[in-house]
Amino acid sequence: SQTIHQWPATLVQPVGSPLSLECTVEGTSNPNLYWYRQAAGRGLQLLFYSVGIGQISSEVPQNLSASRPQDRQFILSSKKLLLSDSGFYLCAWRAGRYSNQPQHFGDGTRLSIL
């Protein structure tokens, strides 16, 4: 069966420090991968999505970047964190390009910037 792993579960970082969040998927190949951010009491905001290795699309201009070095690995990074980067970050995968497939979410990373 397919599983998705995100780590770390919680992270506290000072302003200006770098960031690396990792997401890996098991049990499937060539998934579509997504990074979302969820602010308190708000909906999910799509940050990046990827349809293949090395293919990254950004949805909003921001302080973050994403990379997909392997088929089932998706990394969210920043060189210098801002206070506004605080939030709940969710990784998701979906089988292929067909929209009738569900997105499967990891359990998220709670990021607090001090």
Partner 1 sequence: KNQVEQSPQSLIILEGKNCTLQCNYTVSPFSNLRWYKQDTGRGPVSLTIMTFSENTKSNGRYTATLDADTKQSSLHITASQLSDSASYICVVSAGGGSYIPTFGRGTSLIVHP
Q: Which of 110, 108, 109, 106 is nearest to 4 (CA)?
A: 106
User: In angstroms, rounded to a whole number, what is the distance separating the alpha carbons of residues 89 and 64?
Assistant: 12
Shortest distance, position 98 Cβ to partner 1, whole Å: 8
Q: Considering the rule CB under 8 A, would residue 26 count as an interface residue with partner 1?
A: no
Whether 45 and 36 have beta carbons less than 8 Å apart is answered as yes
Here's the x/- map for partner 1, 59-98, by CB under 8 A: it reads as x----------------------------x-x-x-x--x-
| Site residues (vs partner 1, CB under 8 A) | 32, 41-44, 46, 49, 51, 59, 88, 90, 92, 94, 97, 99-100, 102-108, 110
